[in-house]
Amino acid sequence: MPDRLTEEPVELIVEPAESGWRLDLFLVHHFPDYSRVHLRRVISAGGVLVDGGGGKPSYRLKPGQTVRAVLPEIPRQAPSPEAIPLDVLYEDDWLAVVNKPPAMVVHPARGNWSGTLASALQHRFAGQLSSVGGATRPGIVHRLDRDTSGVILVAKHDLAHSKLAVLFQDRRIEKEYYAIVVGAPERDRDVIEQPIGLHPTQREKMAIRRNDPESKPAETFYEVDERFAGFAAVRALPKTGRTHQIRVHLCHIGHPILCDRQYGGHSRITRGEITGNPEDAEVLLERQALHARRLRFSHPESGETIEVVAPLPDDMAGVLEELRRHRSV
């Protein structure tokens, strides 16, 4: 690691889901390649500002605050436009809703400088994106994990961004996810209420943390859509917006999302594992079977109810087809 800090800071905007996080843990989450000890030293050395002022490692963040961090090898400028095809599901003068494919990072980060959703947005909506999220996140109001597909809301100007952020903060945007899980939940529908915080030893993971003062309340409603022998398809509606919330909650009840490497759902699944033919090694899926299927919200200008649905991607649809054919119950 370089001894000296770079001269140009990178800016991050605190999202509603990160409200109340300690400054040092916020940085650990966004920059997992740096140790917490190192980041605390950077904060103490004045390398991190919150809304233009200094902050202690224990400082509690609020939604909308700007965190400026001076760290080595962090992207400094807006992502370069790239002609990556985008599936635009809805668009008007204020906002757009796009269907993010799996295996695409939302914004640039260490190891993923190109091929991001941000670069695709820069090409598709050149000059029409909000700047509230900072240079590296043009128009981006919220995020999905790299291997989660589905609907992403994009703001076309700063006023739209601010109003949409308030909707997220006030939990007035309904989000529905579709997942394939290992095993079948005993109940057809239920609510999982378990607090979530940073994993105590694995910095890129979250965990159920009942006795951790740093954890945040989290609530997920789920309903079983289809049952199969050894698997189930579920709809999940998070009532809160914690990082990895659905993945952590489903794992907690003993039904991790299929192919979720971080939370115990195998790393991939072959056709033979479904059909029972060990010679059929065709890989059907090798990313978490989680898809952000639907968003429903009031338009920030007109108040009109907007509902956008993203079709299930081919990889998950293919797994469901094989399950229906060979694992029906």
Active-site residues, by number, are 145
Rounded Cα–Cα distance for residues 112 and 122 (Å) = 16
Strands 149-155, 231-238: pairing kind: unpaired
- Maximum separation of any 2 CA atoms in the chain, in Å: 62
Rounded Cα–Cα distance for residues 190 and 204 (Å) = 28
Cβ(271)–Cβ(259) below 8 Å: no
Distances (CA, A) of 251 to 212, 238, 246, 322: 19, 15, 8, 23
Identify the DSSP state of 17: G
Joined tokens for residue 280: 């059929």
Residue holding tokens 């489903």?
Answer: 250
Distances (CA, A) of 255 to 119, 182, 213, 246, 251: 35, 5, 26, 11, 5
Sequence-ordered strand ranges (E) for 163-310: 174-182, 189-193, 196-198, 206-208, 219-228, 231-238, 269-270, 283-285, 290-298, 305-309
Distances (CA, A) of 329 to 62, 118, 125, 253: 48, 43, 47, 21
